[in-house]
Amino acid sequence: MIDDTLAKRNLTILVIAQAFLGAQMPMLFVIGGLAGQSLASNLCWATMPISMIVFGSMTTAPWLSQVMQNYGRKSGFFIGTFAAAVGAAICAYALNIGSFGLFLLGSYCTGIYMSAQGFFRFAAADTASAEFRPKAISYVMAGGLVSAIIGPQLVNLTTDAYVVPFVGVYMTIVSINVVGSGLLAFLKIPLPAKRAFDAPRGRTRLELLKTPRIAVAIICAMVSYSLMNLVMTSTPLAVVGCGFPQSSASNIVSAHVLGMFIPSFFTGHLIVRFGVERIIAAGLIILGLAGMVNLAGVELFNFYGGLILLGIGWNFGFIGATSMLAGSHSPEEGGAVQGMNDMLVFGMVTIASLASGGLMNCSGGTPVEGWISVNIAMVPFLALAGGSLVWLMRQGRATA
């Protein structure tokens, strides 16, 4: 029987870290667009701060993954929490002096943390057996359930704590990173074994991308994450623009993040039972249903229903794609393939978050028209991911 004692120990620490440190992400996504809207001279750039967070994650993933490959997961995670604390402090100062450019710089620093947090799921798989791996990935994502609850509530408590709106939120995020970084010191993840000089070399990045299973996993992860970000980024703007209070936007985002992480308690088991391809397919279908609910109206129950479905679809699509990727490469290829995956995923998410503000504020004369444009934009990307998954499944049948 395979002993997963160390894997379960590391998993416990990562779940707690995901819950506590991860609370800053829903906080940032609730207020990022609203704070940007208060600073930007052009409303089309209101979601630029969120785009800079994702862009920071995209550009950080390749080198941070290599740092973890060479010096261990903890080193990369500490870099992430330090950057997040610095970034939040810069954002707080930028709000005080009314500098949009400085606010974008702080947001970019926060993206370094977002990249580091993204590797929690791979860290959970590092010491796990093949059977336990999908469950470990799923459980560490489930830690976001707590962050989904406390993050938006912290926004409600701290938004007006200072004279300048949102400064209190960013100062709270500084504290979260300072305290939460101590959790990561308890991880015990051995460094990947160094490749002997005469050992066979792993595949190049191009060869990895040409591997059908890896390519489809990356495509499905890109689409699942970017569409979730596209719609979620616009949600606070749409809710407030349709006449509802900011507290409603916070509660809707909270419900969305609950939808993102509650399924994680059983997603891994579903993958083991039904296969990763079917779970990814279910995720893509649910994302499509989310868009349909959002297009059906702009009442609060539409926002709640659409955003909850959006979270569930992201969970199945993204965790399924991560599990597919984790089982498609050797340990020595981990640094290259994981960094490349997150660079491509968050590159697509950067484009989505930039497009979100433009579609929401500049594609129509009213918030309702902008919201419709955001949700219609999901269609071609769902077709891309669904088509690639069907192709992979047919390839598998043909091989069999």
276: left (phi over 0), alpha (psi -120 to 50) or beta: alpha
Q: Which of 143, 164, 139, 172 is nearest to 28 (CA)?
A: 172
Q: For position 296, what pLDDT does the model report?
A: 94
The whole-angstrom separation of Cα 106 and Cα 270 is: 39
- Is residue 282 in some structural domain? yes
**What is the Cα 257 distance to its own chain's centre?**
11
First to last CA, the chain: 29
What integer pLDDT is reported at residue 400 of this predicted model? 47
Domain that holds residue 154: 5-190+206-399
Angstrom distance (rounded) from CA 75 to CA 11: 17
Cβ neighbours of residue 187 closer than 8 Å, sequence gap 6 or more = 10, 13, 14, 73, 74, 77, 123
Q: What is the pLDDT of residues 215-264, one digit of tens each?
A: 999 999 999 999 998 998 888 888 988 888 878 887 898 788 788 888 88
Does residue 343 lie in a domain region?
Answer: yes
Our count of domains for the chain comes to 1
DSSP designation for 285: H
The model's pTM is 0.74
Q: Tell me if 51 is assigned to some domain.
A: yes
CATH number at residue 245: 1.20.1250.20
Place of tokens 């440190």: 21
Is there a domain that residue 146 lies in? yes
Residue numbers of the chain with a pLDDT score lower than 70: 1-2, 192-202, 329-335, 396-400
Residue 199 lies inside a defined structural domain of this protein:
no
Quick check: is 195 in a domain?
no
What pLDDT is recorded for position 189? Answer: 85
* Model pLDDT, residue 77: 94
* pLDDT for residue 347: 83
- Identify the pLDDT of residue 190: 82
The pair phi, psi for residue 211, each rounded to 5°, is -75, 115
In three-state secondary structure terms, 41 is coil
